[in-house]
Amino acid sequence: MTNHWVDIKNANLIVVMGGNAAEAHPVGFRWAIEAKTRNKAKLLVIDPRFTRTASVADFYAPIRTGTDITLLSGVIRYLLETGKYNKEYTLAYTNAALLVHPDFKFEDGLFSGYDAEKRKYDKSTWAYQLDEKGMAKRDDTLSDPRCVINLLKQHVSRYTADVVANICGTPKEAFQAICEHLAETSAPDKTTSFLYALGWTQHSIGAQNIRTMAMIQLLLGNMGMAGGGINALRGHSNIQGLTDLGLLSTSLPGYMTMPSEKEPSLQAYLDKYTSKPLADGQMNYWQNYPKFFVSFMKAMWGDKATADNGWGYDWLPKWDKGYDVLQYFELMHQGKVNGYFCQGFNPVASFPNKNKIVESLSRLKFLVIMDPLVTETSTFWQNHGEQNDVDPAKIHTEVFRLPTTCFAEEDGSIVNSGRWLQWHWKGAEGPGQALTDPQILAGIFLKLKAMYAKEGGAFPDAINSLSWAYGDPHEPKPEELAKELNGKALADLPDPKNPGQFLAKKGELLPGFALLQADGSTASGCWIFAGSWTQAGNQMARRDNSDPSGLGNTLGWAWAWPANRRILYNRASCKPDGTPWDKKRTLIKWNGEKWVGVDVPDFKADEAPGSPMAPFIMQAEGLGRLFALDKMAEGPFPEHYEPFETPLGTNPLHPKVISNPAARLFKDDKAQLGQHQQFPYAATTYRLTEHFHYWTKHARLNAIIQPEQFVEIGEELAREKGIGHGDMVKVSSKRGYIKAKAVVTKRIKALQVNGQSVHHIGVPIHWGFEGLTKKGFIANTLTPFVGDANTQTPEFKSFLVNIEKA
Amino acid sequence: MQVNRRQFFKLCAGGMAGSTIATLGLLPEKAMADVRSYKLLRASETRNTCPYCSVGCGILMYSLGDGAKNAKSEIFHIEGDPDHPVNRGALCPKGAGLVDFIHSPDRLKYPEVREAGSNEWKRISWDEAFSRIAKHIKQDRDANFTEKNADGVTVNRWLSTGFLAASASSNEAGWLTHKFTRSLGMLAVDNQARV
């Protein structure tokens, strides 16, 4: 979230799309209700199903799964054609006025530079026109046809209300109402908050779903505002934190990138990622990349990282391509992987095409499970009849299952969706011989290190150089690890403004990332966490819930990255001259010397209003991007592409380019895609309020209140297929089948799309062949093995099935 | 009005139902303590965060056991933290069952191994688990580690073993996971955020 949970109460309009907050995030969703009662806010829900969120909404509109970009592009068209957007904000704070490369174009569903063979774009034309100094050219009169906003107008001109209705199945009047509601919040004293979750990410066009919404927020002037923003309601309690820590194939902590083999030297790597300005006078904060990276390396390798060895640059692995889970299970399926660790993760249930996942795990030599609970992944080799029909004797994978403690049995911090790092305390010992994750990792690592010391072996240098300065090497303590993440001064850090004074003395914990250095004099495991545990103590454990402004920014409660800032880009809550767009939402103000306020200013503290510096300080031009340059895989503007399994069999906008042209699809998985003739129904998976993922089926209370697997179908389809409420049905895709009870409901209605009637089938995910509920089938037996072109997040929310009475 | 245990029983015998007496506020602390003590009076309260979704609701966990060396504490009740600015004491249907998650009969208690082709789990010691896993790692890493790619660029990567990191483990465990995996040269590292 750019904003945070409590801040939702400040919104005038709340749009829930690609999520079902009332069920999946029930307590956070109370702040949407608070906005309704406190602000007379309107709640608008757009979803294929009439969800529990919809049941308390002021307005609900149905939409066919996988067509959100069409609807949102229609909204952009409406805003631009009627002029109902915040023009001053758009001109000053977005790249609307910047000029785009003369050769950039869009034609028949493809942007310039497409290579059909590689399914990739040459993005060289997805760029600004630059002047002789290398700065982006702009035309503030917006008369140049190459201005971003003019190209955008042209791009979205195709998304008329008729096209939206034809592709999405959303009635024209409903679409009109959505446009009008959103347009109202273009007023400077009105905001929209968008709440979304996996209903937007789990598509082959997931990242562009979110981008389209972000563009609307920029046009409406809602970014940086209390009650505005882009609010991802993340699925698990600490995937925010583990993403912040770079636990993704090609990532490093703090949103840095793992070096690839194209950057053979430290210098080549830093040159690539140290941001160069695209406009004069901008903060361009990623220009500090070397400080963050070198400090990370000092945290990794300690004294062994020196200027002479490039801070241990050779000790980091260099990638040739991303090894995201789809790519990796594909390799595993081909027999190219020998070992796998699953730490609190259940891929048999969580990944698409469950049968492929089980086949892949069966080809491993060893599998290590670290988990507090029994998971289907740990018992993938057991025969569970139809639900897991395997022969253990034929599976030669050695499986180690290691019991871990759970949240209640350890100290530590996790990061919520609002970027708050909250410290928690141990309340009891784990059961039996369970150990913490750090104890287990240390146990394996120290054994391995000893083996390398004794026997030698492949490249022990990085293993030997890893900093392991813990009081008890077998049990690194949460406090020690948290301090390592925060970082410390490795030498006295002189204060450049006050000679003879020091910003921090050697050995002191750092107060924030502003002190990080690129010369090896600071260490910090994750630069955005700098400030979380300082000389003043553990900031994540703070417990002052006072809220003097009434806007909900409880700056004394826990600690938020970055720098305890609660609303990102909050400089944009003021006009360029420093006056707030809306006085009652004043977050920061200029006091004559510096920016101060009820939030931590997200700006250069002493940069006076009226300067050319723009609020989006992480961008090279300081602006919010309506045109994404080369940052997205499938285009700088969002475009509607059908799901890989489409009930239409075509794309009404451009029949030659049906689905995301830049998405990666492996050969075997392509053969396992279903066609609408055999699998005519659009299916989508989702969660219920009584369960969390695949965990609570192991908790008795939750197993009692939602004990048995079911699927939801509409009344019309039930009649057509002769299925009654409570009948057992078999739902099949090209990849497999599940059997479950049918819930026949009024909440799902057939939609009229492109001259045909499209039925949706809803598949809740929470069951499996382990747990205290009745045994069930893994819902992901049905889902396709294809992901978003940028993130490789699987397309769980849009696929094709058939249904029959079992 | 203070009543002791003897007076309490006398009052009951005198025809007033015990429940009425309790309603009137006459319940003597001692008398009740003798029958069944309030768990909450002896409980330790520990602050934690709900491990399910990303709202990050504050919770209070109540456990018995005073933290003495040989006393094992056990959590018997969990409720929302009323001071928490987001949840203000509330929990959802998922969070309401947290204590059943901690005490699930499906919690793992001992290190185990399922040998190749076997149809059963076998209990092993932690030392055996660490040793065998470390041996597997070393064997695979030594056999498949790539120091240089085809162009002679130093890449120092190990692609034949991967690591899926958790979605609810702490940042501190996550940081050690990062150090562990990257120092071994792993690139097939992902977490739940991917899906």
**Rounded to an integer, what distance in angstroms lies between the CA atom of residue B119 and that of residue B117?**
7
Q: How far is B22 from chain A (nearest CA, A)?
A: 31
Find tokens 């699998």 and name the residue: A679
Instruction: Collect all residues of chain A within an 8 Å Cβ-Cβ radius of residue B49.
Output: 237, 407, 414, 416, 422, 424
Beta strands in A87-221 (DSSP E): 106-107, 110-111, 114-115, 120-121, 192-196
Beta bridge partners of B19: none
**Rounded to an integer, what distance in angstroms lies between the CA atom of residue A630 and that of residue A154?**
20
For A342-346, what is the mean pLDDT? 97
Beta bridge partners of A739: A730
Contact A702 B51 (CB under 8 A): no
Q: How far is A383 from chain B (nearest CA, A)?
A: 9
Burial of A96 (0-12, 13-18, 19+ CB in 10 A): buried
Instruction: Collect all residues of chain A within an 8 Å Cβ-Cβ radius of residue B82.
Output: none
**Rounded to an integer, what distance in angstroms lies between the CA atom of residue A363 and that of residue A355?**
13
Q: How far is B34 from chain A (nearest CA, A)?
A: 27
CATH of the domain spanning A23-232: 3.40.228.10
**Rounded to an integer, what distance in angstroms lies between the CA atom of residue A718 and that of residue A189?**
47
pTM value is 0.95
Q: How far is B66 from chain A (nearest CA, A)?
A: 11
Q: Is it the case that residue B13 has pLDDT exceeding 60?
A: no
Q: What is the pLDDT of residue B41?
A: 83
Interface mutation target, options A692, A701, A770, chain B, most CBs of B under 10 Å: A692
For A623-637, what is the mean pLDDT? 98
For B6-28, what is the mean pLDDT? 46
φ, ψ for residue B71 (rounded to 5)? -95, 125
Which has the higher per-residue pLDDT, A223 or B67?
A223
Instruction: Collect all residues of chain B within an 8 Å Cβ-Cβ radius of residue A345.
Output: 164-167, 191-192
A379 contacts A759 by C-beta, under 8 angstroms: no
Q: What is the pLDDT of residue B17?
A: 43
Interface mutation target, options A348, A407, A559, chain B, most CBs of B under 10 Å: A407
Please give the residue of chain B at the shortest CA–CA distance from A198. Answer: B195
Contact A242 B193 (CB under 8 A): yes
3-state secondary structure of A566: coil
Q: Is it the case that residue B27 has pLDDT exceeding 80?
A: no
For A311-336, what is the mean pLDDT? 98
Find tokens 């209070």 and name the residue: B60
Domain with CATH 3.40.228.10 in chain A: 23-232
Q: How far is A445 from chain B (nearest CA, A)?
A: 7
Strands A736-745 and A710-714: parallel
Strands B122-123 and B112-114: antiparallel
Q: Is it the case that residue B25 has pLDDT exceeding 90?
A: no
End-to-end CA distance of chain B: 62
Contact A485 B171 (CB under 8 A): yes
CATH of A667-805, one of 2.40.40.20, 3.40.50.1100, 2.60.40.2310, 3.20.20.70: 2.40.40.20
Residue A198 structure tokens? 């996996």
Amino acid at A302: G
Q: Is it the case that residue A504 has pLDDT exceeding 50?
A: yes
Q: Which domains does chain B have, with CATH numbers?
A: 5-35 (no CATH), 40-102 (3.30.200.210), 112-194 (no CATH)
Closest CA to A558 of B55, B171, B84, B82: B84
Amino acid at A713: I
* Confidence tier at B8 by pLDDT (50, 70, 90): very low
Helix pair A68-82, A161-168: axis angle to 10 deg: 170
Q: What is the pLDDT of residue B35?
A: 67
Closest CA to A744 of A768, A767, A722: A722
Instruction: Collect all residues of chain B within an 8 Å Cβ-Cβ radius of residue A233.
Output: 53-54
What are the pLDDT digits (tens) for A481-492?
999 999 999 999
What are the pLDDT digits (tens) for A657-671?
999 999 999 999 999
Contact A689 B93 (CB under 8 A): yes
Find tokens 């998985």 and name the residue: A669
Closest CA to A660 of A62, A164, A18, A209: A209
Please give the residue of chain B at the shortest CA–CA distance from A465. Answer: B183
Domain with CATH 2.40.40.20 in chain A: 667-805
**Rounded to an integer, what distance in angstroms lies between the CA atom of residue A403 and that of residue A543?**
32
Reported ipTM: the value is 0.97
Closest CA to A215 of A294, A278, A153, A133: A153
**Rounded to an integer, what distance in angstroms lies between the CA atom of residue A492 and that of residue A517?**
12
CA distances, A103 to each of A148, A509, A628 (Å): 13, 51, 16
What are the pLDDT digits (tens) for A257-296?
999 999 999 999 999 999 999 999 999 999 999 999 999 9
